[in-house]
Every structure is written in structure tokens, then in C-alpha cells.
Chains A and B, each alone.
Chain A
Amino acid sequence: MRRLIYLLPLLLFVGVGVAFLRGFDRDPRDIPSALIDKPAPEFSLPPLPGYKEGLSNATLKGDVTLVNVFASWCIPCKAEHPIITRLAREQGVTVRGINHKDKAEDAIAWLNRNGDPYASIGVDLDGRVSIDWGVYGVPETFLLDRQGRIRFKHVGPLTPQVVEEQILPMVKHLRSAS
């Protein structure tokens, strides 16, 4: 029985080792959002000139909505664009965009080139509204329920895995809940 105490350092080492090993799987960029389960911040953004309508709190209520923060200069945004387009076209999810610190003509050219899945787009030229949303790097994607509350946030480009495992089940749940 007394001998067992000599195993203690080994057990401690294994414990610490496991804790550190788990750290490898953790993405340090993935910071939990402070806004989960809170209503979307008060905001109102103008549209791209001559292009659909803008974006404000009022537009976010009534339907389960995916809000995607994007920019034409952002390469990962281009990578996730087909995935967002499929969500809108095939799954019928309402997708709205926040165009982050972009030039209007670049953004419009980008949308013409890559397709436009957004029901409406608000222009956040100085990034101030993005700060209200707790955005720290584009792309970021939020999922809102019918009451306009933020229920889920993903940092970085959406992947098929995130869509399959997190977004679609959440959309289904939020649609049936309210």
C-alpha cells in the first residue's frame, strides 16, 4: 500500500500529459463568443450602392437567419462561398451578409463573379458594427433564431463538416422550436 505512493508522480505526469495532448486539438483562434443567446446588437447598415437592401435588426427577425461577415479581399471567404451558396439554394436557409471593410465596387464585382447567395447585404465600411458583433477576423458566421437572438457562431471559413454537424441540426432545431 505504501509503495503505491511512488506511482503518484507517474500518475500526475500522465494526467498533465493528457491535458496537454488535448490542447493540440484545440484551435487557439476559436474563442467562445460573448454574444451567444443574446439578441443581435443594435445596428443598421446601408446596402452596397444600387444593390438590394441593407441590413438592420428589423431584417433579422421572423426567420432563422445565417449572418455571414465577408470581404472580397478575404481568401477564406472565397473558399467558403460555395458552401454558403449551397446552404441558401439547397437547404433554403436565409443568408444575409455583412460586407466588412471592403470597396463597394470590389464587393459587387466579387459577387458577380462568385454568385450571390445573400438575401441582403449591409456595408460595414469602418468595421464598427463588426466590433459590436464581436468579430475579430473575417470570415465569421452567426446563426440567429426567429427572435433575432444569436445562437451559434463560427470563426473562420465554414467547412462541410461544420455545416453537417453543427449548422444544419441547429437550423432544424430552431425552425421547429419557434
Chain B
Amino acid sequence: MRALLLALLLALTPVAASAVQPDEVLKDPALEGRAREISKDLRCLVCQNQSIDDSNAPLARDLRVLVRERLTAGDSNQQVLSFVTDRYGDYVLLRPPFKATTLFLWIGPFVILAIGGVVTALYLRGRKGIAVAAGGDTAPLTEDERRRLDALLRKDKA
């Protein structure tokens, strides 16, 4: 019973779809793992928003094979990535590198958040200032104000 349940659960587990064909897979599982990791960071330039690990495009396949070849030849992950970016530019990386040209991309959101925070703080402080200048929110009504309020309320009842 338990085995059946386990089998059922396993059958229902969503498996991340990958385009890697059986004939591409390396014999060494450690190397294959690294290849998969690198492939997930490399953009398929034909479909653009898929990694080469997900894409069925012929170029993606060629690049997957190339990545595995470089790894088998003894390249480090970084060496493989720079091999590809030397040919296709930074655009091929799904995670843009942190450098001068991508500075705004990386820190832009934080700058905008900081500006928003400063503007909000100034606004809140300004509002408080107005309230204080007017004698505070809870200042009692003057005699004149009370009389006008009573008149208005009486008018409403009538």
C-alpha cells in the first residue's frame, strides 16, 4: 500500500521539462550536473526567452553539446561561460553581469525605492507641520465655532 502511494506520488511529481536528448548526456554525472547548471544560465538566441537547457532549437542543441565538450576538455564553469560570451556577447547570459553598462539595471530599483522613501518622509513631515500650525488635530472648538455648529445641526433636524 505504502509503495503504491509512493509510486502514485512520484508519478504526479512535476518534472522540470528539459530539452536535453539522451544522446547528449555525459557519462559522468558530476560533469553532466555542471553542464545542466551552465545550460540553465545560457539564453537560446533563437527563442530568446528560453535557456538552451529548455529549448529544442538546433542552435540550442549545438550549444549544449559544445558546453559538454568544453567541460570534458577540463574547462571550469566560468571558462565555459566566457567561451560562449566571447562569441555571442553578454546577451547570451540570462543573468546579466554586474558591470558599468548594467549598473542602472542592478541598482536602479533601489535608487527609485530610496527616492520614494525620501519623498514619502518629506510629505508626512510636511503634513504634520500643517497640523501643528493649525493648533493640532484635537484643539477644542472656539465659542464662535460651537455656535455655528449648533445652528447647522438644528437646521438639519428641522
Which residues in A have some Cβ–Cβ distance to B below 8 Å?
Answer: 28, 31-35, 41, 101, 126-128, 131-134, 136-137
Contact = CB atoms under 8 A, between A and B. Distances in A.
Contacts of A41: 87
Contact of A132 (B48, B87, B90): B87
B63 interface: yes
Interface string B4-39: 000000000000000000000000000000000000
A32 B88 contact: no
A-side interface mostly: loop
B114 interface: no
Given A136-B45, A136-B46, A137-B46, A34 B62 contact: no
Contact of B85 (A33, A34, A133, A137): A34
Interface residues of B, number: 15
Contacts of B58: 101, 127
A134 B89 contact: yes
15 contacts: A28-B48, A31-B91, A32-B89, A34-B85, A34-B88, A34-B89, A41-B87, A126-B62, A127-B58, A128-B62, A131-B63, A131-B66, A132-B87, A134-B88, A137-B59
Interface in B47-87: 48, 58-59, 62-63, 66, 85-87
Interface string B89-131: 1110000000000000000000000000000000000000000
